[in-house]
Amino acid sequence: MSITKEKVAEIKQKANDIRISLIEALIEAKSGHSGGSLGMSDVFATLYFHALKHDPKKPDWEERDRLLLSNGHICPVLYSTMAHAGYFPLEDMKTLRKFGSPLQGHPHREFLPALESSSGPLGSGLSQAAGMAIVLKREKRDSFVYCLTSDGEHNAGNTWEAVMIAGKEKLGNLIQIIDRNYIQIDGSTEDIMPLDPFSDKYRAFNWHVVEVDGHNIEDIARGIEEAKMIKNQPTIIIAQTILGKGVSFMENRYEWHGAPPGKGPDDIVPKDKQGEVALKELREKVL
């Protein structure tokens, strides 16, 4: 399924709208994760507005693709994308992290039934996704399971157990997309627990590996289409991303992993101006 220039332009605009909405929500909540949410907006926009087989009006449609967010702390980008896709009113984003809201600080499927899973404890999402993919394969369903993961959570042993069983079972219907920004909560992944050569590790476990620019819509779409063509191996799409993408003072700074505007480092922008400056940059962005 090729992607037209017109569709690329539409998705770029959607990604920017998603960024604006999630920043507005984080400002309102006064807590939450900015960096990874901004960094994965282009990937989520490409999935929900091009690649994913889904129906917001029938979230439990049996023939849908399944999407699981393993690194649940970046749920602002998931919620914002779902709102823009029509799963719930955009105005509900203002309830992020508030008591009783369906938009919990980490995804909770009992609060928001359109979610495929609850997540938060890092390292468990890929195991859940592998289990779903095994069942769908046995039932001979024509659906894919997408699992969004972080590089930092590859510190968790459970992730590698899932990698092994997915390779063993030849899960061609499982597509993992990893947010490879080289940053986790305390700094660089390569300082804390080195992962490179990352591609070689996955190939050794019988995975097909695709590398893409996580901010290039055409490249993301190409990677997904390649993954769909692989029938006897699970695929990992390594999306090279920039933490905080779109907000200049947040980009590539690990301090913005878990901080909302107003609570991040103030050496560039004062705390009381961070939300205003972030939204100004995004609203004035030339796409």
Residue for token digits 């909302």? 260
State how far the Cα of 68 lies from the Cα of 61, in Å rounded to an integer.
16
Q: Residues 29-41: pLDDT tens digits?
A: 999 999 999 999 9
Full residue range of the structural domain in which residue 90 is found: 5-283
The pLDDT, as a whole number, for residue 286 is: 86
What's the mean pLDDT when you consider all of the chain?
Answer: 97
Is residue 116 within 8 A of residue 82, CB to CB? The reply is no
The verdict on pTM exceeding 0.85 is yes
Higher model confidence: residue 120 or residue 90? 90
State how far the Cα of 33 lies from the Cα of 117, in Å rounded to an integer.
19
State how far the Cα of 59 lies from the Cα of 65, in Å rounded to an integer.
10
Q: Is 95 exposed, middle or buried (0-12, 13-18, 19+ CB in 10 A)?
A: middle
Residue for token digits 């990677």? 223
State how far the Cα of 282 lies from the Cα of 287, in Å rounded to an integer.
10
Is residue 159 within 8 A of residue 141, CB to CB? The reply is no
Give the CATH number of the domain where residue 80 resides.
3.40.50.970
Domain count, the chain: 1
